[in-house]
Amino acid sequence: MAFSKIEKFTKKDIWLADIAKALSHPARIKILKILAGMNACMCGDIVELLPLSQSTVSQHLKELKRVGLITGEIEGPKVCYCINNANLQKAKSEINKLFNQVFEC
C-alpha cells in the first residue's frame, strides 16, 4: 500500500466508509442484534453467544465503540454495553441518503 490515499476523499465519504467498515463483519452485525434484543444494555455474556474467544469479541466491541455505534460503561467488575441510539439514527439516515443519492440516476 505504501501510503493510504484515504485523506484524499471527503470527510463525509470517509465517515460513511468508516461506519460501513464497522458493519463489515458478521460478528459485529450479530453483536448489534444481541444488544438490541437485550433492550437494556448488557455486559460481556455476548462472548457466550458468539463463536469467538473473549479477546476477539473484545476487539469487535472496541471497533463498534470506535465509530460510536455502541457505548460501554464500567459497572463494577463488568462492562455494560449499549446501543448508542443517536449515532445509530445518524448512521441510518446518512446511509439512506447515500442510497437515495445513488438511485437518482
Partner DNA sequence: TATATCTATCGTATATTTACGATTAACGAT
Partner DNA sequence: ATCGTTAATCGTAAATATACGATAGATATA
- Per DSSP, the three-state class of 98 is helix
Residues 30-89 that bind a copy of itself (CB under 8 A): 30, 32-33, 35-40, 51-52, 83, 85, 88-89
Burial string for 45-63 (b: 16+ CB within 10 Å, else e) reads: ebeeebeeeeeebeebbeb
- Single residue of 13, 33, 36, 78 touching DNA by CB under 7 A: 78
- Per DSSP, the three-state class of 74 is strand
Partner whose footprint covers residue 39, from DNA, a copy of itself, none (CB < 5 to 8 Å by kind): a copy of itself
Partner whose footprint covers residue 32, from DNA, a copy of itself, none (CB < 5 to 8 Å by kind): a copy of itself
Q: How far, in Å, CA of 74 to CA of 43, rounded?
A: 9
Which amino acid, one-letter code, is at 6?
A: I
Between 66 and 92, whose beta carbon lies closer to DNA? 66
Residue whose grid cell is 493510504 = 4
- Residues in the site for a copy of itself, rule: CB under 8 A? 5-6, 8-10, 13-14, 16-18, 20-30, 32-33, 35-40, 51-52, 83, 85, 88-89, 91-92, 95-96, 98-99, 101-105
